[in-house]
Structure 1
């Protein structure tokens, strides 16, 4: 464990935290001033078309920024009814935490965008709408805007499960286009995969091939991904790969290959325009490949080809059977039920039901390492790095013993949590604390992050039922 933060460091951390809280609170005061300008009709007195135009000229800001501030002021400040009665802000919970300086403009933008989408869902009641806004306002106090957006997507998925279905007439063409082939032989290309499961499988394969080769691997992520794609192509071109044809003897055969001069398809052994088949073959060097080992006679069998990728898809079984709702991939991407049913016809489906099939989800002190069945359960529960705000996928995470195995900690779900490499090191510094409450991980921050040290839920974004 590293040394504790000293007194001087704590003073600096507290001063920086207090300054950001004050800045955010002052930003909310600015919205209140804008609302006051609107209520007093000052824009009419100055001859401006509206308050947003007045704000833009007053502070020399772009028109879209001025309009956004006016819209935020309308949502986060007190209102007056047609009868002159005072009404709370439209987004009351968000206004409370914004006034206290606990959230910033980025959080407000996510909440406003999400609540606008929920207004268009007919099945959402007024009570549910208010509970959703309060939930997002609370989560915004410990999540960055990007992570709050993921939590908002999870909330939308629960309140509007059919919202992920593609629009009618959506273009579903996949494409891979050579953008430019340079004179030096280099190639630039672009492509698109519309099917989210195809995209997930592609990312899983490329990410697996782009892992650093060791501590001395200094390649950037983009370079490693490119090298992984090249490795995939080379593997497909090897003897027995996806792009080669192999008969029972193990010798490559070019079936119906095109004639090099006419471009027309030909048969094996067919003579070209300049001579016999033997003369043509004499001009082509034999590929340098190892001689096939003699094997006992056996009936002809088709060459095995690569099958569909094995993906982890989390979905309510009732939704899958009824073709409603949605499923969630490891990346957090939601896909329509119809897409999952189509893939289930041609993929290996691994049911992940905690504690079923006599899988050893609790193996006690038998071993320190996490077996496959327990790791699958851990992946499903945490969905990746469980630290609040982190979005690392399960394949890039370690299974961390909350109570160290060497100190008597068991290898079981109640004592394990998924952490990426960075947050694994952070937890071992000892400033953050992890506990399992009702089967889910909770993280208690150090005092310089939250003076009250309020526990925060970890794992994949969840919305109360």
Structure 2
């Protein structure tokens, strides 16, 4: 790849601009790859401590005015990259010709840091195969897409599947509200299907809208997302006060794609794919389907839709009204009906009937624990026993 003659940018044609940009991108990728190797060597010899810094990441953050999170991520990549020979070999070679790299450093970071989350129980040879697959995918995937693909491969490699990680993620859920001038500031974390629910609601209401005179939406992305959250809260409040049956009609649509055999077997490594977030375990999808509107979609071998079935709500408003009257809330902790799902004692996918004698109200927190086997619920003579 040759560097074109130095000419003013304004005088270049489109093809000349792309050629120059290709050269710049190749040079930047080479410099970034060299940078990773330099960071690795600095960390190896402990030079940061000689300069008074606690760690190499602290040195990078202070010297180059980086966010500490980014500095720690770069040092972690530099330390772990030597263990991934296929990724290392695909990065730009400082001694080779200046050409478009097989793998850019940002893609290498996405692959390596994702593979680092694979549990130790997975055989090394399986990780090597996964590494090669991800490097091949890097020819047409961005770093974000590689991270998503890597997580899917990680879940397939792990014989225990994503369920243990999902359980830990639920435990980390939090929300902190802090008073602020004319409002409230908040931060937190929601996991798994709760995260997908939040994303889907915000995405649905955050789309830009033209103004009354036809101009583009003047709101920033952050403002549109804040407005979407406010809209969602307003709809939820209106549903709670409308006199509707608590727990019916206020749920958003979450799209999940999973093989029917995987859903039925619910083995540890069976996963389903959602639109915005990470894959969900079959066990979690079975729990979601306890109290949902199901629209079956049959896909062909190339994922093309072949047939779309009719929507079927498993628990009707009449059933929900009867459950609310009988259980009066979560049968484990007495949380109000609006906070509860209708749980199938025998799963509908296993042939369990959607009837009052096979249903009980369970709050979201205990519904998750119930599917993990923490309790057993039975119904005798119309009474629920835990």
Q: TM-score, normalised by structure 2?
A: 0.55
Structure with more helix by fraction: 2
Map 1:22-421 onto structure 2 (within 5 A).
Answer: 22-28=27-33, 51-54=44-47, 63-64=56-57, 72=78, 75-76=81-82, 90-100=83-93, 101-118=101-118, 120-124=119-123, 126=125, 128-160=126-158, 162-166=160-164, 172=171, 178-180=177-179, 186-190=182-186, 192=188, 194-214=190-210, 216=215, 217-235=217-235, 241-245=239-243, 305-323=248-266, 324=268, 325-354=270-299, 373=308
How big is the shift at 1:346?
0.5
How big is the shift at 1:245?
3.7
d(CA) in 2 for partners of 1:205, 1:70: 35
d(CA) in 2 for partners of 1:135, 1:94: 11
SS of structure 2 residue aligned to 1:327: strand
d(CA) in 2 for partners of 1:181, 1:51: 45
1:368-389 CA distance string (max 9 Å, x none): xxxx959xxxxxxxxxxxxxxx
SS of structure 2 residue aligned to 1:226: helix
How big is the shift at 1:116?
3.0
How big is the shift at 1:170?
6.2
Q: RMSD of the TM alignment (CA)?
A: 4.3
Judged with a 3 Å threshold, the aligned counterparts in structure 2 of structure 1 residues 187 and 22 are, in CA distance, closer, same or farther, namely: closer
Aligned with 2:14 (options 9, 14, 25): 9
How big is the shift at 1:158?
2.2
- Conserved in 1, the CA contact under 8 Å of 2:240 and 2:246? no
SS of structure 2 residue aligned to 1:99: coil
SS of structure 1 residue aligned to 2:294: coil
- Conserved in 2, the CA contact under 8 Å of 1:93 and 1:134? yes
**Equivalent residues, number:** 269
How big is the shift at 1:52?
2.8
1:151-182 CA distance string (max 9 Å, x none): 21122122226442245676648666542175
- Conserved in 2, the CA contact under 8 Å of 1:75 and 1:91? yes
Aligned to 1:392: none
How big is the shift at 1:347?
0.6
Aligned with 2:23 (options 18, 23, 30): 18
SS of structure 1 residue aligned to 2:291: coil
SS of structure 2 residue aligned to 1:242: helix
- Conserved in 1, the CA contact under 8 Å of 2:202 and 2:229? yes
1:113-157 CA distance string (max 9 Å, x none): 233333x3434351x322211122233344333332122112212
1:251-298 CA distance string (max 9 Å, x none): xxxxxxxxxxxxxxxxxxxxxxxxxxxxxxxxxxxxxxxxxxxxxxxx
Aligned to 1:252: none
- Conserved in 1, the CA contact under 8 Å of 2:273 and 2:279? yes
d(CA) in 1 for partners of 2:247, 2:38: 70
d(CA) in 1 for partners of 2:156, 2:279: 11
- Conserved in 2, the CA contact under 8 Å of 1:327 and 1:335? yes
- Conserved in 2, the CA contact under 8 Å of 1:312 and 1:329? yes
SS of structure 1 residue aligned to 2:288: helix
How big is the shift at 1:352?
1.8
d(CA) in 1 for partners of 2:197, 2:39: 49
Q: TM-score, normalised by structure 1?
A: 0.47
Judged with a 3 Å threshold, the aligned counterparts in structure 2 of structure 1 residues 347 and 70 are, in CA distance, closer, same or farther, namely: closer
d(CA) in 2 for partners of 1:218, 1:194: 30
Of the two structures, which has the highest relative contact order with CA contacts closer than 8 Å and spacing of 6 or more? Answer: 1
Judged with a 3 Å threshold, the aligned counterparts in structure 2 of structure 1 residues 132 and 361 are, in CA distance, closer, same or farther, namely: closer
- Conserved in 1, the CA contact under 8 Å of 2:92 and 2:104? no
How big is the shift at 1:26?
4.9
- Conserved in 2, the CA contact under 8 Å of 1:242 and 1:306? no
How big is the shift at 1:191?
6.2
